[in-house]
Amino acid sequence: MKGGQAAYPGKFSKSEPILENGVTLVSMRPILEKLDVKVNWDEAIQTVSGAKEGLSFSIQIGSIDAIANGKAVKLEAAPKLIQNVT
């Protein structure tokens, strides 16, 4: 960590990581797409979901409640939408 920003090689996107209350928020889509995860965005309910090889997830902007492989989980921080980037 340097100046509140996480340094990492080989950037996935133009969005810089954000450190907020001890949690580092990063752009999800570029990382997931690099891992060949099929990513879906539902604008109406502000939800990102994805799946690959029997694994799945669903998170909603502003909520710490998420679904991972069909089970409810709590996130340390709620996902955010910043300049149209999740």
Within 13 Å, how many C-alpha atoms sit on residue 55's CB side? 8
Closest CA to 39 of 48, 14, 69: 48
Classify residue 54 by its DSSP letter: T
State residue 13's pLDDT score. Answer: 54
**40 forms bridges with which residues in the sheet?**
49
Q: What is the mean pLDDT of residues 6-28?
A: 73
When pLDDT is cut at 50, 70 and 90, the band that residue 45 belongs to is very high
Sign of CA dihedral 15, 27, 8, 10: negative
**What's this model's pTM, rounded to 2 decimal places?**
0.76
The Cα–Cα gap between 46 and 48 comes to 7
